[in-house]
Structure 1
Amino acid sequence: MFAVIFTGGKQYLVEEGQSLHVEKLDAEIGTTITFDQVLMTAASDGQDVKIGTPFLEGTTVTATVDDQGRDKKIRVVKYKPKIRYKRANGHRQPFTAVTISKIS
């Protein structure tokens, strides 16, 4: 079974047992979290598709927090030609690594 969940302003296609990085969540490592904003569910063979308007009521996805961290650095450069203006900045986006344990 797989589902599409909405968290951190993004949508993720998930299956049971899958590990993924989502936008940072306030949860400690090893705790269980529940995603209740489920947009769609379907069986593994593509049958029994349920689509929410916008979310499915009574459907949840349970996951375990594996890690908290920061992604690779992104370099941002502002540059104006002919006037010797250049500014460089870096950014590392925080993330939460989760493993999907149950879709119900």
Structure 2
Amino acid sequence: MYAVVKTGGKQYRVAAGEKIKVEQIAADVGQEVVIDQVLAVGNGGDLKVGAPLVSGATVTAVVLSQGRHDKVRIFKLRRRKHYQKHGGHRQAYTELQISAINA
């Protein structure tokens, strides 16, 4: 059984037992999180698609860790204009272990 969930403005295909990294969620490590924005639920050849959400479907997950991705380097340059700008960004994430899909 799998589900397509929406969190942090992105969509993820998840199944029970998988680990995923999503945009940061305000939760402590070890805490159980319920994702209620389920777009689709599939079981073998059977697929239930919501319009836009599947009513009554939830995905339960446990927070494994909070962290930050690798740094993305940003470099801007205007040639012959004596302009250079350096920057960087590290995106925060939450690692989740999917425990159950309730359809």
TM superposition score category, shorter chain reference: over 0.9
Equivalent residues in 2 for 1:35-50 (5 A)? 35-43=35-43, 45=44, 47-50=45-48
Q: What secondary structure is seen at the aligned counterpart in 1 of 2:46?
A: coil
Residues 46-93 of structure 1, C-alpha deviations (whole Å, 9 max, x = no match): x22100001011000000000000000001111101012110101000
Q: TM-score, normalised by structure 2?
A: 0.97
- Higher percent of residues as strand: 2
Matched, 1:66 2:64: yes
Q: What secondary structure is seen at the aligned counterpart in 2 of 1:17?
A: coil
Aligned length: 102
Over the matched positions of the two proteins, sequence identity in percent amounts to: 43
Residues 12-71 of structure 1, C-alpha deviations (whole Å, 9 max, x = no match): 00000000100000000000000000000001x2x2210000101100000000000000
The runs of 4+ residues in structure 1 deviating greater than 2 Å are none
Q: Which runs of no fewer than 5 residues in structure 2 stay unpaired?
A: none
Q: TM-score, normalised by structure 1?
A: 0.96
Matches of 1:54 and 1:88, distance apart in 2: 41
Q: 1:99 aligns with which of 70, 84, 97?
A: 97
Cα RMSD (Å): 0.5
Q: Which runs of no fewer than 5 residues in structure 1 stay unpaired?
A: none
Matches of 1:92 and 1:57, distance apart in 2: 35
